[in-house]
Amino acid sequence: MNQDEKVKLYSAMLRIRLIEEAIANEYPKGEMRCPVHLSVGQELLPSLVSLVVSNKDLAVSTHRSHAHYLAKGGSLPKFVSELFGKATGCSKGRGGSMHLIDLDVNFMGSTAIVGNSIPVGVGLGYGAKLRGDGAVVLIYIGDGAVEEGAFYESVNFAAVRKIPAIFLCENNNFSVYSHISERQPQNRRIFTMAEGLGITSKYLDSSNPEKSLIELRDVIETTRSTHSPAFIEIDTFRFLEHCGPASDDHLDYRDSNYIDDAKSKDPLALLEHELTREIQDWGNFFLGLRKAIDVEIGQAFDFARNSPYPDPSLENPSAYAEARL
């Protein structure tokens, strides 16, 4: 990974981190009337993906979809407006945090139901194969989603039909508050299980972004050229609570040593440390980057606050039951 790629990766990760932290800071004001599952600590994989995919590639995601949407090129003003429930939101103010969609960048939707977007993504991949347009589909999942039947059915179908889909598993070890050791067999990596289902599987080391980028690029290009599905697993860590803007470590479902160890391996901090040694005028570079992102965030929140709410008169009348007195 050359320095230019490192800077692009760091910038993408920092932008996501600062956006999510801004949401966490603003959320208690009560203007965002939807639950939020923030991606603080989980910026690496979508940021790596952003360096190697094209706009024609499609993506589907989970309830924790903010980083995936932003890394795919989704509009920040439309994203923040969606959290505010405004008509200018990417889902017209009707979806909220867990139901993002933006066809302009081929972000085809996220869903609150665990595993629900997996068969949708495979279907989109089947369509891409039939069109022959060279697109691949990115299917973001968490470690909990591989416990759903839809995952196995979808992987099997993708393998048999040779569908250009890449299953991207962000393993943060917890399904809400349940550790993976309580839900899945001991000493079994998810990517080895996926390999047993008949598809190419790779484990990306979050402490080595350079190697991870090389391996991810190879997987995506192979899938693009051969229509062979693939599975990627990466270990990650969720800094904040499962749902909401604060910490939930007082619930004691995560050991304090585990938390400290995970935070010491924060990919963003590690990459920043590396760049401070490579870029001579790092201080000014960082201040300029931080200022540009902060301005962008401020403008997005202003846009959201000044945008109108959806007009109820434009709703489809058939969506509601007739009032009976």
- What is the structure's pLDDT at 276? 95
Contacts of 72 (CB under 8 A, 6+ apart): 46, 50, 53, 59, 102, 105, 106, 107, 138
Residue ranges in 90-234 assigned as alpha helix (H): 117-131, 149-161, 190-195, 209-226
Half-sphere exposure in the Cβ direction for 161 (13 Å, CA): 18
- What is the structure's pLDDT at 256? 87
| Tokens read off for 256 | 């304090």
Rounded mean pLDDT, 58-80: 98
- What is the structure's pLDDT at 321? 62
As beta bridge partners, residue 200 has 230
- What is the structure's pLDDT at 318? 56
Rounded mean pLDDT, 106-127: 96
- The C-alpha atoms of residue 89 and residue 96 are separated, in whole angstroms, by 9
For the chain, the first-to-last Cα distance in angstroms comes to: 67
Q: Which domains does the chain have, with CATH numbers?
A: 3-304 (3.40.50.970)
Q: Which residue has the tokens 């081929």?
A: 106
Phi, psi of 150, rounded to the nearest 5 degrees: -60, -30
- Exposure string of 105-134, with b = 16+ CB inside 10 Å and e = fewer, is bbbbbbbbebbbbbbbbbbbbbebbeeeee
The residue count for the chain: 325
Q: Tell me which of 131 and 256 has the higher pLDDT.
A: 131
- What is the structure's pLDDT at 317? 60
Reply yes or no on whether the pLDDT at 258 is more than 90: no
Reply yes or no on whether the pLDDT at 325 is more than 60: no
- How does residue 187 score in pLDDT terms, banded at 50, 70 and 90? confident
